[in-house]
Structure 1
Amino acid sequence: MANVVLHYFNGRGKMESIRWLLTVAQVEFDEVHLRTREQYEKLVSDGDLMFQQVPMVEIDGMKLIQTKAILNYIAEKYNLHGKDLKDRVMINMYSEGLMDLMEMIMMLPFTQDRKSKLDAIESKAKERYLPVFEKALTGPIYLVGGKLSCADVQLLECTLMLEELFPGILADFSNIKSFQGRMIQIPAINRFLQPGSKRRPQPDENYVKTIVEVFQVKLPLP
């Protein structure tokens, strides 16, 4: 078994950004998929989930939770978090904005009135989020400091998610589209985008059903 083990459902969710970042850092990882309430309760009773939440990542002798904390640790460890404090705060601002947008997409399978939610996501993406990155990529190859960071990886992940829902959404964002083209040429990313990789597909009914059963929630969410 690899030295890094991911504990999560067999789907994207909040773990997918962690999979992406480990892939770009060229870190091998294994996964333990949560399938039953009993698995989750055992993690809680064993004290492995500080706030009774997943994702949880075993790495360097630690059991880490909280997605941002995990991403920051990986980014720092593998030199994907900028050269200094000013770089890091810019990277964090970009990353947190992207996470806000991706979380809206993650919640789609669990919410009612999918059409209005899709309309809201598309509108916010085009008016609030994508213009920021389009401007930031006017000239630079990467978002911050002229070198690859976790924010670049998350931007690629987020824009690919958006294109799955809205195929033409980047038509007016040529800098972002060019950025995508550069990023997918990185060998580790190119492999991750191929069939059979550890990249997870879009959520399906089984993924939603498993989460509902493990966490004992009622759908649809408001």
Structure 2
Amino acid sequence: MPNYKYVYFNVRGRGEIVRLCFHAAGVKFEEVRIEMSAWPGTIRGTSPFGQLPYLEIDGKKFAQSIAISQYIAREYGLYGNNSLENLSIDAVVGLTTDYFNLWAKANFEKDERRKAELQTKLSGEDLPKFLQQLEKLLNGNKTEYFVGNKLTLADLAVYSTLENPFRDFPDMCSKYPQVVNNRKKVGSQPRLAAYLSSRKPTEL
């Protein structure tokens, strides 16, 4: 097995999906968590594309959290059984990325007036639409998973993306029983449950 070293900030953010993939697959990896204050220094200059996260595989660095998670999924059984299932999984991952980008824009906008507008739109339009799309996918698949009949990258991407919505808007999220059930199913996977119960809570 390759030697893995994963480097990301000490938050969940865009990089948590990779941690979830590693733990779900039961694959050992070295984890390095970087404090924000340390980022402008030498670490930034040595990272691919000047970004975090990155994954070192036997000393070679690779960037982009989605690309990394897709690699882990392909290598360790978190993709589908055929190309069409893999296409469906990637579509769900893309959907989660779309929502996360809206969330990030609403939370990191510097203009306070514009920020308030974006957050109102996020909770009133964007999040309900996202949850409705997820509920429809689960109702259509009828296995409690998003694609096929096993845990895949699609489920892990949704789990990661919904961490803040389930914390910040629990009443809204509870209106989508299939989404709630999928989240419970994913979080109760033994390897994931062990990680989720032991990780340090972070705001983001």
When normalised by structure 2's length, the TM-score is 0.85
Q: 1:187 to 1:59 in 2, by over 3 A?
A: same
Q: Secondary structure at the match of 2:77?
A: coil
Matches within 5 A, 1:7-156: 7-29=7-29, 30-33=31-34, 35-43=38-46, 48-49=47-48, 51-112=49-110, 113=112, 114-122=115-123, 123-127=125-129, 129-138=130-139, 139-156=142-159
What SS class does the counterpart of residue 64 from structure 1 fall into? strand
Q: Which has the higher helix share?
A: 2
| Structure 1 unaligned blocks of 5 or more | 204-222
Amino acid at match of 2:68: I
Which whole-Å CA distance do the structure 2 matches of 1:60 and 1:145 have between them? 32
TM-aligned CA distance change 1:136 to 1:41, over 3 Å: closer
The verdict on how the C-alpha distance between 1:79 and 1:131 changes in structure 2, with shifts beyond 3 A counting, is: same
Question: Which of 1 and 2 has higher RCO (CA within 8 Å, sep 6+)?
Answer: 1
Distance in 2 of aligned mates of 1:20 and 1:79:
13
Distance 1:202 1:62 in 2: 31
Structure 2 alignment gaps of length 5 or more: none
Over the aligned positions, Cα root-mean-square deviation in angstroms equals: 2.1
For normalisation by structure 1, the TM-score amounts to 0.78
Q: Secondary structure at the match of 1:168?
A: helix
Say if 2:13 is the partner of 1:4. no
Please give the secondary structure, in 2, of the residue aligned with 1:193: helix
Deviations 1:15-74 (A, max 9, x none): 11111111111223321525142223440xxxx51x222211112443111222111101
- Structure 2 counterparts to residues 200-219 of structure 1, below 5 A: 201-203=202-204
**Contact 1:101–1:121, Cα closer than 8 Å, also in 2:** no
1:218 corresponds in structure 2 to: none
Report if aligned partners of 2:8, 2:32 keep a CA contact under 8 Å in 1.
Answer: yes
Provide the C-alpha distance between the structure 2 equivalents of 1:180 and 1:41, rounded to a whole number of angstroms: 34
Q: Distance in 1 between matches of 2:105 and 2:90?
A: 22
Contact preservation (8 Å) 1:10, 1:200: no
Q: Decide whether the 8 Å contact of 1:104 with 1:121 is kept in 2.
A: yes
